[in-house]
Structure formats: structure tokens, C-alpha cells
Amino acid sequence: MAALTGEELERARAAAQAEHRELKARRPALDPDSIALILERARSHYAWTDKPVPEELLRRAYEIAAAGPTSMNSCPARFVFVRTPEGKARLAKALKDKNVEKMMTAPVTVIVAHDLEFWRELPYLFPHEDRRPHFEGKPEHAEITAFRNGTLQGAYFMIAARALGLDVGAMSGFSNEIVDQEFFAGTTLRSNFLINLGYADESALFQKLPRLPFEKACSFA
């Protein structure tokens, strides 16, 4: 993708600014129920119905999540949608025993990973300046950037899925090393965390646990 220049660039900027202003004018903020659905009253789920999740919904959730901001538009996250019995059996090898049933009964389990060589895509993602030298030959910097921004994208995906009516259960009780051996051997991808996805069986829910109040978690400087 070539970078825009001159009048073409000015038109593109003006269109982007107008589009944003129009959206904010139509919807300056989400209504309380929408906020509750995606975060405030959202729950992490551990039990699932057998209602399937269509591929179109997974694609739409990705499209929404991919629109979220990342450093230099680097987009390092990669998503593997595990939904076949064979894929689930491979993933089960990595899980702690108490998490196997949660994963096996979910219609889809998403492996949220990141590409350590995400920077190779920067000419497409960030076309107006070649930022590859910031990362090429600097594996530690590349890994930190990939992990941080890939984690952000995983969170965006969870919010996108909830916004589309899906239920979510993020999970970290597993061996990243085994997941990487099973799914990413010989690649530059590394696993981060898992997301069970589907339509929840709410009968397994318990009361929502407390969160830290503003005064304990926040400060001003």
C-alpha cells in the first residue's frame, strides 16, 4: 500500500475528520445497557450451551477488534479459532486439569497469539514511513512491543465478541510452551492467552467479585 501524498492526502484527512465528527454527533456516548453488556456487568463464563458460533460472527468480531489502536498500527496479534475435536484435543494437552472441561465444552476457543516478526508487515500497515529498522535485529524490543500490543488486541476481541452478543471466558491456566509446540512450531508466533467463546449456560454463574475502588487503584499527578 503506497502512502498518500499531496491533495489526495489532504482529502483523505478531511474525510476521516468529518466521519469522526459525524459519528460523535450521532452517538456521543454509549447507553448504560451497552456499557454494562461489554464491561460493567459482563461476566467471565465457564459453562456453555451447545449453540454453535457461526464463522461470520468470528470474522465480524475480528474486524471490530482489528480496528482498535496499536503502536505504529503494528497489529501483532494473531488468532487461532479452535473448534474441531482434533484441535480441541491438541489444545487440551496444554491445559491444567480443571480447565479442560471448560475448553472442551466451549463452541470455540481462541488462541490469542502475537507474531514476533510483526514488523515485516509495517510497509503495508504504516506506509508513510519505513519503521522496520526500529525492530529488525532488535528481538527484545520486538517481543515487548508484540506482547503489549497483542494483549491489547486480545482485549479488544473480547469486547467486540460481547458487543456482538457472544459470551466470553478468558483463560490463562495452561502451558504456553505446549501450545506453541502444538500450534506454532517453526513459526515466529507465540501464544499469550486463551478465550473460550460461545453462548453461556448462566446457571453456572456465581456472584460478581469485588473490584478495587477508584481511591485505591487510581491517583492524580
Q: How confident is the model at residue 141 (pLDDT cuts 50, 70, 90)?
A: very high
Residue-wise pLDDT tens digits, 2-45: 788 888 999 999 999 999 999 999 999 999 999 999 999 999 99
Reply yes or no on whether the pLDDT at 129 is more than 80: yes
189-198 β-sheet, strand order: 77-82, 108-115, 189-198, 167-171
Residue 16: inside a domain: no
Q: What is the pTM of this model?
A: 0.95
CATH number at residue 144: 3.40.109.10
Residue 8: inside a domain: no
For residues 63-76, give the mean pLDDT. 98
For residues 198-221, give the mean pLDDT. 96
Residue 185: inside a domain: yes
Residue 179: inside a domain: yes
Number of domains in the chain: 1
Q: Which domain holds residue 74?
A: 44-203
- 189: Cβ contacts below 8 Å, ≥ 6 apart: 78, 113, 114, 115, 116, 180, 183
Ramachandran angles phi, psi of 182, nearest 5°: -75, -40
Residue 39: inside a domain: no
Residue 90: inside a domain: yes
Residue 103: inside a domain: yes
Identity of the amino acid at 186: G
Reported as type and span, the H/E element at residue 153 is helix 139-163
Going by DSSP bridges, is the β-strand pair 77-82/108-115 parallel, antiparallel, or unpaired?
Answer: antiparallel
pLDDT of residue 4: 83
Residue 188: inside a domain: yes
Ramachandran angles phi, psi of 193, nearest 5°: -145, 175
